[in-house]
């Protein structure tokens, strides 16, 4: 996962353009993506697919010809979607177009201007403080194009036994920001590669933020009823604890599954708000899909957020592994959630003569397994699912699932139709 983050980091991504295509091409080496192109001008809900932006080079040179701001050093140095520029400017003329972080003077900020045609550069406050009027005039060049093209997104579907889908959505529109989107992409790829003949169908969406999700929703309205659970995945590799933001519904299966999995590890659960990543599009009131958001430190919650400090050294393999482990456990809950009926509900059935107690002898978790059987028997009344039982008993979902499987084999349970 960390190698994938490092490989994707140099690409100049935006909401459209060859940086997105290059990103999807690399993801496509790991997953057989279906790549979609949606032409500029296409109406998508209340939006319109914008012009496509591409950039080849950009710089500000001082009078000696030295590049004092250089796109080749970092693609964060150019305001995203900057229109082409070629000219000579004094430092005073240039200053209004130079963006810095005075409170973090050593870092370069990330700035964009998607829907207003303008241009600018980003640099550290330290670098700006080093520029002098006498170093000019300054040659400014942005070799970019903003023209009719398309918006690009990719999908990978793992077919399941059921048509109902679990969706994992990652945004692919940010340039060299390792945690903000690349760690989430890498974890999603790893999760997709783990899935083998699942019960649900799993759809992985790699799309530009906001406009990409809106475009996907506009093009898939007839099948949204199949979405049984969804997660936006971002900020998946920083050292902070896992954070889950509930869906708009607040009590959807995905909300309950994630909060159950996070119960036994450091975490924070946030209530839904219409601000953040693309969960706000999936949870817009007209769609109201069961979509939550999983991050480590959330949106704008760490000093490196949207700066050059969000680099591959900021994200760690251990953090991404922890995020992947949590997601894998969420998938286990979603895959195995069932509601059963106790076929011997009058009094406690004799487990010993069915070999159920004997089968537990010598196990390190004998007491937990016994308690799981008793809880499953007691609450398998057709009204409580395994996740209800795990939450109420305080037992791990895996223990409850294992107990249910043993009781099913012994003829003491049947699945509710």
Mean pLDDT by 10 residues, the chain (417 residues): 98 98 98 98 98 98 97 98 98 97 98 96 98 95 98 98 98 97 98 97 98 98 98 98 98 98 96 96 98 96 97 98 98 98 95 74 73 96 97 96 96 94
Taking alpha carbons only, the member of 36, 355, 390, 59 closest to residue 206 is 36
What's the pLDDT at 346?
A: 96
Task: Provide the token pair at 90.
Answer: 């004094």
Distance from the first to the final alpha carbon of the chain? 41
Task: Output DSSP code: residue 163.
Answer: S
Q: Quick check: helix, strand or coil at residue 387?
A: helix
> What are the angstrom distances between the C-alpha of 113 and each of 82, 116, 121, 153?
7, 6, 11, 20
Which domains occur in the chain, in start order? 2-50+151-335 (3.40.630.10), 54-147 (3.50.30.90), 338-415 (1.10.10.10)
Cα–Cα distance list, 332 to 86, 337, 402, 413 (Å): 56, 8, 12, 21
pLDDT at res. 364:
64
Token reading at 224: 């949204």
* Beta carbons of 231 and 169 less than 8 angstroms apart: yes
Cα separation of 50 and 146, whole Å?
9
The pLDDT value recorded for residue 371 is 93
Q: How far apart are alpha carbons 20 and 12 in whole angstroms?
A: 8
- Cβ 118 vs Cβ 82: under 8 Å: yes
φ/ψ of 24, rounded to 5, equals -65, -30
DSSP-based three-state secondary structure for 401: helix
Buried b (16+ CB within 10 A) or exposed e, 43-80: ebeeeebbbbbbbeebbbbbeeeebbbbbeebbbbbbb
Round the CA-based radius of gyration of the chain to a whole number and report it.
26
> What whole-number distance in Å separates Cα of residue 208 and Cα of residue 405?
42
Tell which residue, 86, 83, 84, has the closest CA to residue 60. 86
> How far is residue 279's CA from residue 273's CA, in Å, rounded to a whole number?
9
Task: Note whether 296 and 235 are within 8 A (CB).
Answer: yes
Instruction: Report the alpha-carbon distance of residue 153 to residue 212 in Å, rounded.
Output: 7
C-alpha torsion angle, residues 215, 219, 223, 229 (rounded to 10) = -10
User: What number of other Cβ atoms are within 10 A of residue 351's Cβ?
Assistant: 20
Q: Which is nearest to 415 in space by CA: 392, 387, 395, 385?
A: 385
Q: Is the dihedral of CA 128, 130, 135, 139 positive or negative?
A: negative
């Amino acid at each position: 996962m960390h190698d994938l983050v490092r490989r994707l980091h140099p690409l100049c991504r935006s909401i459209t353009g060859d940086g997105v295509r290059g990103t999807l091409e690399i993801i496509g080496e790991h997953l057989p993506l279906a790549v979609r192109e949606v032409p500029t001008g296409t109406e998508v809900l209340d939006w319109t697919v914008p012009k496509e932006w591409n950039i080849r080079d950009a710089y500000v040179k001082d009078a000696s010809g030295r590049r004092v701001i250089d796109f080749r050093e970092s693609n964060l140095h150019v305001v995203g979607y900057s229109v082409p520029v070629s000219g000579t400017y004094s430092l005073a003329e240039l200053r209004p177009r130079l963006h810095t972080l005075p409170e973090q003077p050593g870092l370069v900020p990330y700035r964009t201007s998607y829907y207003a045609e303008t241009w600018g550069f980003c640099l550290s406050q330290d670098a700006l403080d080093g520029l002098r009027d006498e170093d000019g005039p300054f040659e400014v060049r942005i070799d970019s194009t903003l023209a009719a093209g398309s918006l690009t997104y990719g999908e990978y579907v793992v077919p399941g036994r059921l048509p109902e889908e679990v969706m994992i959505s990652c945004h692919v529109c940010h340039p060299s920001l390792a945690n903000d989107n690349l760690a989430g992409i890498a974890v999603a790829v790893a999760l997709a590669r783990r899935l083998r003949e699942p019960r649900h169908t799993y759809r992985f969406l790699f799309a530009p933020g906001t406009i990409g999700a809106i475009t996907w929703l506009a093009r898939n309205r007839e099948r949204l009823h199949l979405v049984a659970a969804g997660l936006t995945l971002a900020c998946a590799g920083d050292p902070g604890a896992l954070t889950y933001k509930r869906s708009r519904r607040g009590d959807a299966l995905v909300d309950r599954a994630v909060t159950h999995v996070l119960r036994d590890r450091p975490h924070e659960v946030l209530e839904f708000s219409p601000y953040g990543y693309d969960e706000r599009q999936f949870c817009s009131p007209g769609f109201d899909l069961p979509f939550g958001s999983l991050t480590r430190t959330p949106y704008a919650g760490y000093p490196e957020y949207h700066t050059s400090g969000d680099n591959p050294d900021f994200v760690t393999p251990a953090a991404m592994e922890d995020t992947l482990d949590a997601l894998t456990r969420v998938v286990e809950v979603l895959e195995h959630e069932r509601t059963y009926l106790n076929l011997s509900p009058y009094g406690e059935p004799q487990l010993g003569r069915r070999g159920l107690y004997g089968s537990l002898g010598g196990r390190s978790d004998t007491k937990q397994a016994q308690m799981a059987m008793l809880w499953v028997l007691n609450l398998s009344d057709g009204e409580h699912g395994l996740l209800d039982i795990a939450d109420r008993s305080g037992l791990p979902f895996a223990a409850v699932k294992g107990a249910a499987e043993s009781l099913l084999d012994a003829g003491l349970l049947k699945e509710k139709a």
